[in-house]
Chain A
Amino acid sequence: MIFVEPLVRVEGLTKKFNLEAGFFARFGKFVHAVNDLSFTIGKGETYALVGESGCGKTTTARLIVRMYERDAGTIFFGRDTDVGLLRGRDLRSYREKVKYVFQDPARSLNPRMSVYNVLTSGYRWSSRWPGARRAREEAALILEEVGLAPSDLDRRPADFSGGQRQRISIARSLLMQPELLICDEVVSALDVSIQGQILNLLQDIREKRGLSILFIAHDLKVASYFCDRIGVMYRGELMEEGRAQDLYRNHGHPYTQLLFASATGGAEEAPNSVTTPQRNSAHGCAFAHRCPLADNSCYAQRPEWKNIGDDHFIRCHKR
């Protein structure tokens, strides 16, 4: 499937965090959470950002909804809207079109509110609030769409299981008819037998509504199954990007290789060498310190983002 029209275009996105904060912060000690990141999500496409903890995938997602402010680069939404420049009413309307679903439904739903309030507390403040009665009807419809009952509107999140709470979380994000859904590890906290239910639910929803999804995951199997294209991140940079269906059989980057091998139980017992702190410079390849193929050129110069096939890109000197 080719998704021609881009919905989100990220170009050169960079975000640094100060390692030391407060009165005694010394400038210079910082972490590149996201480093010159560029990718595109097409309309109706599901794009995965995959990587291990600290790779910057969650930071990227939060930059897109402006939970954090970027240090450099641009995020474009729709045709040419620069997300970083939005203010006030425009920002609010952007946030109605791009919705964020959190990982842990136990913590992203206010435990003291009824499900109805959880669903509509934000809706109430939007420009499209249709009034209490109509909103209640819409909330009931949304609940049915995610597989719950309208009578659940008056219950509390604590009355539900983890999978059901995640459904409520998803329902909340759909209420204002978004165009892009950002799913931040939405199935990671669920039991295996429930994961499939939620993935199938998301599948139905995106088909019915033509939704685009940015799918943040650390589980390559889930990402390979559920998404159209996958971007592999390491220390704030994209190492490889390709079609989900092809990446398993046809990947190039040593880090991708390591991820796939670990997931299938074929990795070796190399001692954990991630003892160096996060890099704070842009020299050389981010993965060089762990790469079995690394040589001097890898440490000296950052590899270019090369196109090596159909929708297949890689950042490596050696491939």
Chain B
Amino acid sequence: MSEHSFLRVENLSVTFPPKDARLGGPVFAVRGVSWTLEKGEILGIVGESGSGKSVSTSAIPSLLPAHAEVTGDIFLEGKQLVGLPKEDIRSFRGRRIGMIFQEPGRSYDPLQNIGSVFHETLANSRPGISRQESEEEAIRLLTEVGLPQPRERLGNYPHQFSGGQLQRIGIALALAQGCDLLIADEPTTALDVTIQAQIVALLKRIRDDRAISILFISHNIDLVATISDRILVMYGGLVMEEGPTRQVLASPAHPYTTALLAAAPRFDSHYSTSPLLSIPGKVPDPSRPLPGCPFAPRCSRVMSGCRTELPPLRWGPQEADESLARSWRCVFDREEVRL
């Protein structure tokens, strides 16, 4: 973990105290995660429901509900983001950090046309910008994200666009203020698979053209594999494994990653010839964290110690190129799991 990384998250925890006695105990959404992101890198964060992937990334631009308790550190180019007062966070949002969300249709005011949304966004970092200028800039951005006929469509309203187009517009808006970090939280989950592929290719191109860093969050490990340079696997509010995408997928170090890869059906496999490996049990409840490894109840290689003590983070052999570093949280050494 480099001290000079573009984005450095250290021991981040997010807990939601209950608003009301009736709503149960506190929810431990994120229980201490650490990772880094370099400039121009795409980090894919994979996890199922309750893994904490969305909550941990929403903490970066401080988009969590007011009563959330965030501890730990988030350093964006050395500047601490945790505990930053509201006015200062606002200077980061949009200008340094952009974000796109799962359901593009829900992110827009249905009564505001796209041109006006762009004007508002651009005026945030360039107050006093004229309508003419914001229009031209909007057209430039929309062309960049591949929206056909941008000039004619500036006057259109959100309901006149398809889901894929709205997501492209969302990306354009996120880039409008020239952000260095784009957080994409399940951006394609609500879209058709063909549109999914297009959006993923678009994000890759934007990263190449603008050298921005991207955090790509999804529950679909294969999708994440198509876009990310490095991959982070989360489960039960903790990081289970991290490393270069190709290596992690080719030879996973953590039993959860292995199980996740084996559980998804692949092309060229059929029920009549190869049974599907399924993981028994269910995903953990963030309001009732168990001691020990969160995956222990479902792990095929569980040992007695796994249930009582949280396994430490292990690292792969020291590499010259830091981007090839691997880590995983398990009692097993990499070689043992691979057997």
A and B touch in the complex (CB under 8 A): yes
On A, residues with C-beta under 8 Å from B are 1, 52-53, 161-164, 191-197, 199-200, 203, 218-222, 224-226, 244-245, 248-249, 258-275
Cβ-defined contact, B48 with A53, below 8 A? no
B62: min CB distance to chain A, Å = 28
In the complex, what residues of A have CB within 8 A of residue B211's CB?
none
With A192-B260, A200-B278, A225-B266 given, name 6 new contacts (CB 8 A). Answer: A192-B221, A193-B260, A199-B265, A225-B265, A258-B194, A272-B165
CB within 8 A of A267: which of B198, B263, B272, B280?
Answer: B198
Closest B-chain residue to A147, C-beta based?
Answer: B280
Pair A272/B193 contact, Cβ less than 8 Å: no
30 CB contacts below 8 A, A to B, read A1-B272, A53-B192, A191-B48, A192-B260, A193-B48, A193-B278, A194-B282, A194-B283, A196-B263, A196-B278, A200-B276, A203-B271, A218-B192, A221-B264, A221-B266, A225-B266, A225-B270, A225-B271, A244-B270, A259-B193, A262-B193, A262-B196, A263-B193, A265-B197, A265-B223, A265-B226, A267-B201, A269-B198, A269-B201, A269-B202
A52-B192, A197-B279 given; A224·B267 CB < 8 A:
yes
- Known A193-B260, A218-B193, A275-B148: A260·B267 in contact at CB below 8 Å: yes
Q: Mark B267-301, 1 if CB is under 8 A from A, else 0.
A: 11111100111111011000000000000001000
Q: What residues on A are CB-neighbors of B219 within 8 Å?
A: 191-192
B146 within 8 A of A: yes
Other-chain contact of B162, A260, A264, A268, A274 (Cβ < 8 Å)? A274
Q: Is B220's beta carbon under 8 Å from chain A?
A: yes
- Please report the number of residue pairs spanning A and B whose Cβ atoms sit closer than 8 angstroms: 131
With most chain A CB atoms within 10 A of its CB, the pick from B260, B263, B265, B268 is: B265
A184 CA to B270 CA, complexed, in Å: 20
B329 CB, min distance to chain A CBs, angstroms: 17
Which residues on the A side are within 8 Å of B271 (C-beta)? 199, 203, 225-226
Question: Could you tell me the dominant secondary structure of chain B's interface residues?
Answer: loop
B49 contacts A191, C-beta separation under 8 Å = yes
- Known interface pairs A52-B194, A164-B282, A263-B193; A196-B147 also in contact (CB < 8 Å): no
Residues of A contacting B193 in the complex (Cβ-Cβ under 8 angstroms): 52, 218-220, 259, 262-263
A162 and B283 CA atoms in complex are apart in Å by 10
CB nearest to A290 among chain B residues:
B194
- Given the interface pairs A1-B272, A225-B276, A248-B268, the reply to whether A195 lies near B192 with Cβ below 8 Å is no
Q: Report B184-230 residues with CB < 8 Å from chain A CB.
A: 192-198, 200-202, 205, 219-223, 225-226
B263 touches A193 (CB 8 A): yes
Question: In the complex, are the beta carbons of A197 and B194 less than 8 A apart?
Answer: no
Closest CB-CB distance, B149 to chain A, in whole Å? 8
Partner of B200, one of A192, A199, A249, A265: A265
Distance between Cα atoms of A220 and B226 in the complex (Å): 17
- Establish whether residues B265 and A226, one from each chain, have CB atoms under 8 Å apart when the complex forms: yes
Q: Is B259 an interface residue (CB 8 A)?
A: yes
Q: B270 touches which one: A53, A199, A245, A273 (CB < 8 A)?
A: A245
The answer to whether B266 and A192 have CB atoms under 8 Å apart is no
Closest 5 pairs between A and B when the two form their complex, measured CB to CB: A196-B278, A265-B226, A225-B265, A269-B201, A267-B197
Against A, the Cβ 8 Å flags (1 = close, 0 = not) of B162-185 are: 101100100000000000000000
Q: How far is the CA of A220 from the CA of B264 in the complex (A)?
A: 12
Structural contact, B264 and A195, CB atoms closer than 8 A: yes
User: Which A residue sits closest to B153, measured CB to CB?
Assistant: A275
Inter-chain CA distance A194–B220, complex, in Å, is 13
